[in-house]
């Protein structure tokens, strides 16, 4: 059965081409399979029911993006299936597993596969119900189950520079392009590490000042005592050691000023920023007249600015100038189909991530988002290289990587849980630890303490 989005991803497309309709080729002609009822309804904005389905986002241990609709009859996945989805994956069986949508939920059934079917890291025996968001591993392939596959049907996943652009990010970029075309400000919200500066750069590139400078100021790193002079400049003699110097705002003249972590800006400086927004004027510390600057301003924060206004930490009048238009970058856990693309881009040529590694990554919350994922991927790759391997395995990922800060457990699971995990994983300590969500050394220490041979727990 062909996927709902049959076109292969072209990673050489420009931003404009990436933001175009999902089912248009680079030359602009309709791609095959682009006229399904679901796609036509989605393009027209019709109010249609959600479409349960799944997306094949890893196949043969490589990033993919192939969404499928699921109903009660379901789909069979395998290396050679008469009717269903044929996977180009030597690690899958001819008919590996069956996935269906029944009575408001997903049902996954293993079909006697050689390498097993795993749902959220646990090996499946027979059939199991799985919630939306579950990860299904079939050999070297991964499926992400979703209650509504529609957003994944019209938009694929592509790599542009260091930016992975999937359906969620593409919607952010579309809104950003509109803001750049029609105004001079944009608020970007999102957790740390989600890519807010990349969106700010896109705002700059899409605006009328794209040929001008793009200047970044991290408000959280500016000491309060020198914030005004750093942002707006100074005149010689204004304070001890002061010299005639342009501020960040003047250096952004003709371009875009990106104020990251705007909520950390002191209230006294927020007043000065308001004047810049309203009149395009800045006055240096110690200066006797304002200077005109022509800039667009993009601000970003992980905080809720409305709540900051209510708490008296952010000026209400400034909020009304920078709070709209706004875009929100969703956290990585809401766009897990991007994970294999980030990992593959970080690894580069010559080394590959196993489906097990991607699976473990996809099952963790990643509070540091893309930044943390990429950093931990580099560390994991280094461990694999030290061991002389060209494939990064699940056990190369640190047990703390991608987990909630302060949330790591220091206690062991109950004895019967450890024993059951070892039995289900054939005595393999590493896989049992991954199933339990603990470091493998904890399992080894438990075995030593109880003088147990893991092979006897098969």
- Confirm if 230 and 275 have CB atoms less than 8 A apart: no
Q: Is 175-328 a CATH 3.40.50.300 domain?
A: yes
Residue for token pair 């529609």: 150
10 Å Cβ neighbour count for 54?
27
CATH number corresponding to 335-396: 1.10.8.60
- One CATH from 2.30.110.10, 2.10.109.10, 3.20.20.70, 2.60.200.20 for 15-154: 2.60.200.20
Higher pLDDT among residues 448 and 353, named by residue: 353
Confidence band, pLDDT 50/70/90 cuts, at residue 28: very low
| pLDDT of 183 higher than 70 | yes
Closest CA relative to residue 339, chosen from 55, 119, 14, 111: 55
- Integer Rg of the chain from CA: 26
Q: How does pLDDT run across 421-432, given as a tens digit for each residue?
A: 787 777 888 777
Give CA angle at 69 (67, 75), nearest 5°: 100
Distance in angstroms (rounded) separating the CA atoms of residues 122 and 135: 10
10 Å Cβ neighbour count for 269?
17
pLDDT at site 238? 56
Altogether, the residues listed in the chain come to a count of 458
* 67 beta partners: 55
Weakest-pLDDT range from 96-105, 270-279, 329-338: 270-279
| pLDDT of 75 higher than 70 | yes
Weakest-pLDDT range from 189-193, 211-215, 225-229: 225-229
Q: How many CA atoms within 13 Å lie on the side-chain side of 306?
A: 3
Give CA angle at 407 (401, 409), nearest 5°: 90
| pLDDT of 221 higher than 60 | yes
Question: Residue 286: is the preceding peptide bond cis (ω within 30°)?
Answer: no
Distance in angstroms (rounded) separating the CA atoms of residues 434 and 421: 9
List, as one string, the DSSP characters of 396-449: GS-TTTTSPTT----SPPPHHHHHHHHHHTTT-HHHHHHHHTS-HHHHHHHHHH
Q: What is the mean pLDDT of residues 195-205?
A: 94
| pLDDT of 17 higher than 90 | no
Domain ranges of the chain: 15-154, 175-328, 335-396, 415-457
> What is the crossing angle of helices 355-362 and 369-386, to 10°?
150
- Return mean pLDDT, the chain: 83
pTM: 0.77
| pLDDT of 13 higher than 80 | no
Q: What contacts 285, CB < 8 A, 6 or more positions away?
A: 228, 229, 232, 233, 234, 235, 238, 239, 242
């Amino acid at each position: 059965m062909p996927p709902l989005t049959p076109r292969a991803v072209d990673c050489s497309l420009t931003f404009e081409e990436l933001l175009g309709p999902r089912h248009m080729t680079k030359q602009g002609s309709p791609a095959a399979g682009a006229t399904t009822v679901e796609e036509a309804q989605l393009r027209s904005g019709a109010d249609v029911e959600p479409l349960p389905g799944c997306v094949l986002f890893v196949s043969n241990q490589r990033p993919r993006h192939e969404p499928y609709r699921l109903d009660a009859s379901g789909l069979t996945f395998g290396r050679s299936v008469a009717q269903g989805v044929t996977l180009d994956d030597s690690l899958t069986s001819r008919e590996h597993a069956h996935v269906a949508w029944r009575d408001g939920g997903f049902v996954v059934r293993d079909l006697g596969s050689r390498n097993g079917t795993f749902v959220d890291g646990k090996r499946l025996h027979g059939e199991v119900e799985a919630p939306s968001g579950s990860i299904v591993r079939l050999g070297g392939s991964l499926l992400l189950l979703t209650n509504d596959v529609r957003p994944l049907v019209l938009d694929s996943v592509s790599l542009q520079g260091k930016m992975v652009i999937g359906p969620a990010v593409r919607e952010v970029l579309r809104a950003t392009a509109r803001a750049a075309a029609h105004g001079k400000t944009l608020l970007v919200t999102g957790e740390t590490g989600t890519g807010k500066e990349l969106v700010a750069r896109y705002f700059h590139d899409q605006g009328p000042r794209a040929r001008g400078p793009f200047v970044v100021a991290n408000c959280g790193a500016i000491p309060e005592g020198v914030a005004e002079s750093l942002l707006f400049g100074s005149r010689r003699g204004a304070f001890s050691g002061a010299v005639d110097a342009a501020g960040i705002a003047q250096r952004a003249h003709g371009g875009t000023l990106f104020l990251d972590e705007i909520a950390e800006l002191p209230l006294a400086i927020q007043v000065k920023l308001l004047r810049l927004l309203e009149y395009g004027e800045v006055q240096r510390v110690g200066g006797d007249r304002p200077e005109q600057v022509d800039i667009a301003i993009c601000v970003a924060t992980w905080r809720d600015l409305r709540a900051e206004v209510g708490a008296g930490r952010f000026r209400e009048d400034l909020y009304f100038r920078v709070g709209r238009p706004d875009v929100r970058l969703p956290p990585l856990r809401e766009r897990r189909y991007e994970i294999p693309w980030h990992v593959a881009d970080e690894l580069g040529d010559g080394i590959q991530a196993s489906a097990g590694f991607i699976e473990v990554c996809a099952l963790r919350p990643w509070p540091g988002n893309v930044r943390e994922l990429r950093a931990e991927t580099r560390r994991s790759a280094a461990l694999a290289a030290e061991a002389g391997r060209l494939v990064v395995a699940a056990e190369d990922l640190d047990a703390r990587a991608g987990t909630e800060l302060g949330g790591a457990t220091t206690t062991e699971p109950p004895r019967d849980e450890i024993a059951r995990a070892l039995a289900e994983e054939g005595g393999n300590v590493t896989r049992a630890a991954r199933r339990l969500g603990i470091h493998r050394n904890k399992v080894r220490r438990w075995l030593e303490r109880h003088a147990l041979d893991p092979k006897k727990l098969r």
